[in-house]
Amino acid sequence: MSSRQNGRTGEEQGGLQPRYRRAFGCVTWVYMGMLTFLAVNFLLSLPFRYVGEGEIYNYVPPRLAYLGTVLLVPGMVFAAVLGARTYRAPSRVAGRVGTGLGALIGWSGFFSLAWIAAALGFARRDQAFRTQTFADIGGLAFYLFPPLTVAAMVLLVLALYSKGADMAWRRRLGLIGAGLAGLAGLGLLFSDFDLVGLAGVLISTVSAAVAGWVGGVGGYARAGGDDMIPPGATIRRREPRLKPR
C-alpha cells in the first residue's frame, strides 16, 4: 500500500464519526431554517404595511425576530442531540415531521413570549413590548398555559428522541402534544382577543412551519450521508462522483 493511501486511511480513521457529522449537519440546517423563518414572516407581514395604520407590520416582524433570537441556541442544542441519536429519514417523512414541529414551535413560541412579557412586566421596562396586543391576558388560561405547554414539550421530546419507539407510538405522542399546545395557545388568544395578535400568531405558525420543512428535508433527511441510512431503509445512496480525467 502506498504512503498516499496510508495517509487517506489515517484521515478517514481520524475524522468525525458519522453520528457526529449528522449532528453538525442538523445544526447547520437550523441556521437555514432560522433564515427561512425570518424571511417568510417578513414577506407575509409586508402587505400589512399598507393596511390601516400598519399595526400588524409594526408588531409582527420585530416580535418574531426577537423570538428567533431566543430560540436559536436551544434549537442548536436540540438539533445536535437529535442528529446524534437518529438515523436519516425519507424526505417525505422528514418534511412532514419538520413542518409539524415547526408549526408547533411557531405557535407555542409566540404565545410563550406574550405570556413571559405579561408575567414579568416587560411592558413597563422595555419599549419593544409596549403594545396593546395581549396586554391584558389573564384568568384561568394564564395559569394553565405553563403546565400545558411544558407537558406538550415533554411529549414532543419523547416522540422525537425515543430510540426504541415505533412510528405509531411516536405519532400518538406527537398528536397529544400538539393538542395540548393548541389548547394552551387558544386559551391565551381568547383571554384577550385581538386581530393583530391573531395575525401575529398565524404568521408565526406558518413561517415556522415552512422553516421546519426546510430543516426537515435539508437536515433530518440528509445529514450524515450514506453512513446514517438505517438498515432496511429505501433511501437511495449517493452515486459516487466521476473523477475528472
Residue 145's nearest CA partner among 102, 112, 103 is 112
Query: What pLDDT is recorded for position 242?
Result: 53
Rounded to two decimals, the pTM is 0.81
Query: What pLDDT is recorded for position 147?
Result: 95
d(CA 209, CA 105): 8
Query: What pLDDT is recorded for position 42?
Result: 93
Query: What pLDDT is recorded for position 158?
Result: 87
Query: What pLDDT is recorded for position 166?
Result: 74
Contact status, residue 27 vs residue 79, Cβ threshold 8 Å:
yes
Residue ranges covered by each domain of the chain: 16-227
CA 35 to chain centre: 12
d(CA 69, CA 31): 11
Please provide the DSSP assignment of the chain as one string.
Answer: --HHHHHHHHHHHHS--HHHHHHHHHHHHHHHHHHHHHHHHHHHHGGGGGSTTSHHHHHHHHHHHHHHHHHHHHHHHHHHHHHHH-----HHHHHHHHHHHHHHHHHHHHHHHHHHHHHHTHHHH-GGG--STTTT--SHHHHHHHHHHHHHHHHHHHHHH-SS--HHHHHHHHHHHHHHHHHHHHHHHHHT--HHHHHHHHHHHHHHHHHHHHHIIIIITTTTGGGGPPTT--PPPPPPPPPP-
> pLDDT truncated to tens, each residue of the chain (245 aa)?
444 444 444 434 456 777 777 788 788 888 888 999 999 999 999 998 887 778 888 888 888 888 888 888 888 888 888 777 777 677 787 888 889 999 999 999 999 988 988 888 776 666 666 676 777 788 899 999 999 999 999 999 888 877 666 778 888 999 999 999 999 999 999 998 888 889 999 999 999 999 999 888 877 666 656 555 655 555 556 555 555 55
Query: What pLDDT is recorded for position 4?
Result: 43
Query: What pLDDT is recorded for position 40?
Result: 94
Query: What pLDDT is recorded for position 123?
Result: 66
